[in-house]
Amino acid sequence: MGKGPFLLSLALGAVLALGSHTAQADEDAKLVIEGQELVTKTEAPAHLQENLDEIYSGWVFRSSETQALQLDDFENPAFVFIDQAVDVFETAEGTAEKACSDCHADVEDFKGLRASMPRVKDGKLQTMEDQINQCRTEQMGAKAWGWSSTQMQSMVTLVGLQSRGMPMNVTIDGDAKPFWEQGKEIYYTRHGQLNMSCSNCHEDNYDNNIRADHLSQGQINGFPTYRLKNAKLNSVHDRFKGCIRDVRAEPYKVGSDAFRALELYVSSRANGLSIETPAVRN
Ligand code: HEC
Ligand code: HEC
């Protein structure tokens, strides 16, 4: 499926040692969780077809050992955090002394929501983190959670899990259009000392190795992801920040409008792939 190292690898290779892949997981492996088969490869959405024919979940590019952790919810370390979020969901907090469950009787009612986030609400681009903090501050009179805090990312994961197996389907036209355009612009802009864009790695070189890592298409249908590297749930924005740092650029801030727009754009590149929240990555 790879396109092979291309011209850019001249520049890239010098710094990052790009090579074609070696021992990898079985390319025909299937992601089946609790009897449900998830879509990990499919035709690229229409807006992407000038650049990509097919889209692939990041799961496809991981080692069989890492893949296996996502096949069974008892093995998936993210579920420890989900269990904590289930308790928090029912705990009253803030000046209104309300719990999430006082207004949202069943967390399963959020089924489908993750597929459409981020979305435009009242003229603003809203991520899941924004929605949850809005409920905390406006409905509960409680303090906003930090974007990347364990509490926030555990709750984002619990809400996201309700849509697992459903296809990603963010809206990119209408009032979402300007945000989507902004995100696309960021995606294709070269950053940092290495002068590289997201597309240089995740579109032009996926399926190649970069240092010891097998490059994926940088999809976010599995977020928040549990990473073995830091043993916690990682937000979409933290991942963006890490990748921008790797090209030695000043990252935008987690929770910034730039990252919200980038999140919408990157989500739209996964339209059609199943939601995998919570995915496991190295
Ligand atoms: C006092 C009632 C109340 C509490 C408590 C509350 N919410 Fe909400 N929530 C709402 C209302 C009303 C909406 C819809 C309007 C809005 O977005 O503010 C909503 C919307 C949402 C949505 C989006 C649903 C959709 O389909 O668009 C999510 C997700 C959500 N809340 C999560 C939470 C979580 C998690 C908590 C606890 C941290 C929480 N809420 C606490 C009242 C509440
Ligand atoms: C120098 C190459 C490089 C650049 C440039 C780069 N990334 Fe990455 N990115 C990686 C590597 C390596 C990984 C880890 C392996 C993988 O999943 O591809 C990664 C992982 C990711 C992931 C996690 C995918 C998953 O399935 O868990 C996302 C999302 C991502 N990148 C988005 C971006 C975005 C958005 C940009 C531009 C702001 C970007 N990356 C720029 C190298 C890069």
Band (20; pLDDT cuts 50, 70, 90):
low
* Ligand 2 atom 13 nearest Cα: 215
Instruction: State the closest ligand 1 atom to the C-alpha of 109, by its place in the atom list counted from 1.
Output: 26
The enclosing H or E element of 120 equals: strand 119-121
Helices and strands counted in the chain (H then E): 10, 12
- 8 A C-beta contact, residue 85 and residue 79: no
Q: Which of 201, 211, 254 to mutate to test the pocket of ligand 2 (most atoms within 8 A of CB)?
A: 201
CA distances (Å), origin 32, targets 38, 55, 108: 6, 18, 21
User: Residue 192 has what pLDDT?
Assistant: 87
* CA of residue 151 to ligand 1 center, whole Å: 16
Question: Using omega within 30 degrees of 0 as the cis cutoff, is the peptide bond preceding 178 cis?
Answer: no
Q: How far apart are CA 142 and CA 98, in angstroms?
A: 9
* CA of residue 239 to ligand 2 center, whole Å: 7
* Ligand 1 atom 19 nearest Cα: 135
* CA of residue 140 to ligand 2 center, whole Å: 36
- For 110-165, what is each residue's pLDDT tens digit? 999 999 999 999 999 999 999 999 999 999 999 999 999 999 999 999 999 999 99
User: Residue 27 has what pLDDT?
Assistant: 74
- For 217-233, what is each residue's pLDDT tens digit? 999 999 999 999 999 99
Full set of structural domains in the chain with CATH: 1-282 (1.10.760.10)
Instruction: State the closest ligand 1 atom to the C-alpha of 96, by its place in the atom list counted from 1.
Output: 1
- For 43-96, what is each residue's pLDDT tens digit? 999 999 999 999 999 999 999 999 999 999 999 999 999 999 999 999 999 999
* Residue 202 is labelled as binding a ligand: yes
Give the number of other Cβ atoms within 10 Å of residue 5's Cβ: 17
**Active site (catalytic) residues:** 243
- 18 Cβ closer than 6 Å to some ligand 2 atom: no
Q: Which of 200, 214, 216 to mutate to test the pocket of ligand 2 (most atoms within 8 A of CB)?
A: 216
- 261 Cβ closer than 6 Å to some ligand 2 atom: no
User: Residue 9 has what pLDDT?
Assistant: 46
* CA of residue 180 to ligand 1 center, whole Å: 25
Better-predicted residue by pLDDT, 256 or 12: 256
Please check the confidence at residue 1 and state whether its pLDDT lies above 70. no
DSSP secondary structure string, 147-216? TT-HHHHHHHHHHHHTTTTSBP----SGGGHHHHHHHHHHHHS-BTTTTB-HHHHHTTSTTEEETTEE--
Q: Which residues of 145-176 are buried (b: 16+ CB within 10 A; e: fewer)?
A: bebbeeebbbbbbbbbbbbbebbbbbbbeeeb
User: Residue 5 has what pLDDT?
Assistant: 42
- For 194-217, what is each residue's pLDDT tens digit? 899 999 999 999 999 988 899 999
Instruction: State the closest ligand 1 atom to the C-alpha of 112, by its place in the atom list counted from 1.
Output: 26
Q: Which of 202, 219, 250, 273 to mutate to test the pocket of ligand 2 (most atoms within 8 A of CB)?
A: 202
